[in-house]
Amino acid sequence: MFTDLSRRYSTVVRQRRTPSFRVYNDFQAIKIVRLGPWYGDKGSSSGCYSLLGLDVPESEVSVLSKSSYKLALVCPRKLVYRRERYPSSAEKDPYLDFLADGGFLVEAVARALFPDGQIIAPQEGETTAQATARLLRSENVDLFEAVFEHGGLSARVDVLSKRGGVIELIEVKAKSVNMERADGSPLRGTRGGISAEWRPYLEDVAFQVHVVRSVMGPSCTVRPKLCVVDVSKACGEAATFSALDLTPRDERAFGMPTAHYVGDVAALRQNHFLAFLDVSAEVEELLSGPDSCAAVAPSIALAILQGDRSCLKPAIGTHCRDCEYRVDGTDESGRNGFRECWGGLAAGSPHVLDLYRIDKLGGRGEGGLRGLLERGISAISDIPDRMFADGEIGQRQRRQVQATRSGRDWIGPGMGPALAAACAPFHFVDFETSRMPVPYHAGMRPYGQVAFQFSCHTVSGDGALSHREWINVDDRYPNIEFAMALRDVIGDAGTMLVWSAHERTALREIREQLLREGGGPAGLVDWLEPPTLDVEKGGRTLDLYNICRRHYVHPAMGGKTSIKAVLQAVWKGNPSLHVHPWFAAYVRGEGDSVRSPYEVLADVVTDAGIVAAVREGTGAMRAYQDMLYGRRRGDAAYKEACRRALLEYCKLDTLAMVIVWTHWMERTSGATSHVSA
């Protein structure tokens, strides 16, 4: 079949077992692949009956894309592990990431501002890069998703506007900027340097400019711009979500959902929320110097093409703590990326990377993590006391090491008084919120908060536990109903216990919105004020996260203070919780093998299919977006499955607080007087 060796072939095999043969076929591997006629497809207009119609392979494997280059900037070895599909903890479904980011919505609005813009549509046997080159022969043209390839580098440009010898290269991002507050350039810090916040976006653009210039040559002038979301602009009807038509993804074509602008283009041009920032100076700065992408990217591309691991070295550092290749165990081939990178220093348990704020380790002259590794120290319990700096962080690190050595949790003397500041009934509350770049309603600003769900476990003064919850399942702006439902549930008595500032901030935003709009339902503005304030400031909210940070260390928390980390440590370490009737439904396993209640959350299986269990806040936001705006938003059974997954997750978040609080109450009072069956 493959007889003409001057041609190159690609085959996409959608089969589960192919990754075990190092033939990768997930979205990341083939997202820019071009499909050719199927073997035996006699209806093909080219008359070609096989994959001979694909004369150029178009997979990430053969070129260095912008996203791969950015990954290499974090750590070049990740490119190797990603390509070879090492075991990873990274998100399994890029579709949900894509949906939650909202970039495709912003892009749809941006494209509407270029009514003559064309999406690159390759002709038979033509690559996208060749189609781009063909279209660029026109004197004036606007293109979407133009592709440029040069020297093993590949760049895809969101919007390209060519006028004679000048190309405007526009990168569209769902990143927010407040142009009203921007004093000078929002891209630069007070000392004039490129800000760390904007650098990754500007590096994106610099990479594209480098590739486009390499292809177009010196006679062409490239002017780069960033198109971002200006949150200072209130939107007219033409710039709201209702002006977008969403097309679900086609699973068989590995596609993502697309959005098309269907509103009033003239009105949109008058009043939209996009800001076009000229980034020429920043890009020139990034393209000069020995570390620029112009200097570095070609050698990375070459290493990828040649499969040369030695050029893609591990960059060991504190960032390895959260590396997706730091996983327990190995795959069936015995591979574990973290162990390969760290060698013998991967063995410490608990590992030094799990020290609280490892990035801030180091008394004077001790050299932080690097100093530890040079001494061959990889276990937390081996860190010498002199390594800890003075101050709050150093103190917490020291306590973690002591707790690790003793195998017991540490409770500070301030814990009891801090907990006693709450009064019954105790309302353990958690909110789920979402922010969309394209506002729901006229008059709203982009990224306005949408409070779509809460859970509340209440422990009454006589020690009874009850649970109530609320969730929005309709495509509407839910904030006022959310606040009214919360008022119904927690009323005027007792303390609201939370695990972050998120709930206070969310209520403050709703209250400000009500004040702007004239007050809303009777008494709601006044009711909302006390929960926005801490107990110590005369309000009715007690933040258990702050209590944890100041007064609690458990060796199994791994230096983290999230509710999940604390719950897992407390749950495994206190068997009396497993026989408590409030928590019995979440017990799986026993002793050291008891599983975290978050792991017990099961996928929701219905006639409509399977909806994955939600296990963290970002996952909740994604599930909500999927339920209302995703591929199956019109499917009632699927929506119900999403709703159930969201409710189960949020309910556990508040029960987790009850579990930790119960443990703390036992440890501080020596009794369980606040707890009854």
Which residues of the chain form contacts with ligand SF4 (CB under 6 A)? 75, 77-78, 81, 314-316, 319-320, 323, 325-326, 337-338, 341
- State in angstroms the smallest separation of the CB of 333 from ligand SF4: 17
222 strand-pairing partners? 167
- State in angstroms the smallest separation of the CB of 561 from ligand SF4: 23
Nearer to ligand SF4, 380 or 506 (CB): 380
Distance CA 468, CA 486 (A): 10
Query: What is the DSSP annotation of 398-452?
Result: HHHHHHHHHTS-EE-TTHHHHHHT--SSEEEEEEEEEE-SS-SSTTPPTT-EEEE
Distance CA 551, CA 543 (A): 13
Nearer to ligand SF4, 205 or 316 (CB): 316
CB-CB contact of 533 with 539 (8 Å): yes
Nearer to ligand SF4, 66 or 326 (CB): 326
Nearer to ligand SF4, 260 or 313 (CB): 313
- State in angstroms the smallest separation of the CB of 296 from ligand SF4: 16
Nearer to ligand SF4, 111 or 326 (CB): 326
Query: What is the DSSP annotation of 185-200?
Result: -TTB-TTSSBPTTTHH
Nearer to ligand SF4, 78 or 399 (CB): 78
| DSSP state, residue 25 | -
**Residues found in the chain:** 677
Distance CA 355, CA 380 (A): 7
- State in angstroms the smallest separation of the CB of 342 from ligand SF4: 7
Distance CA 190, CA 493 (A): 47
334 strand-pairing partners? none
Nearer to ligand SF4, 66 or 77 (CB): 77
Integer angstrom CA distances of residue 191 from 185, 195, 199, 286: 11, 10, 15, 17
Nearer to ligand SF4, 315 or 484 (CB): 315
- State in angstroms the smallest separation of the CB of 317 from ligand SF4: 7
161 strand-pairing partners? 142, 168
- State in angstroms the smallest separation of the CB of 608 from ligand SF4: 38
**472 three-state secondary structure:** coil
Stated as kind and residue range, the H or E segment containing 606 is strand 604-606
Nearer to ligand SF4, 84 or 599 (CB): 84
Residues 6 or more apart whose CB falls under 8 angstroms from that of 329 comprise: 87, 336
- State in angstroms the smallest separation of the CB of 553 from ligand SF4: 26
* Beta strand 495-498 pairing with 541-543: parallel
- State in angstroms the smallest separation of the CB of 83 from ligand SF4: 12
* Beta strand 153-163 pairing with 166-177: antiparallel
- State in angstroms the smallest separation of the CB of 414 from ligand SF4: 37
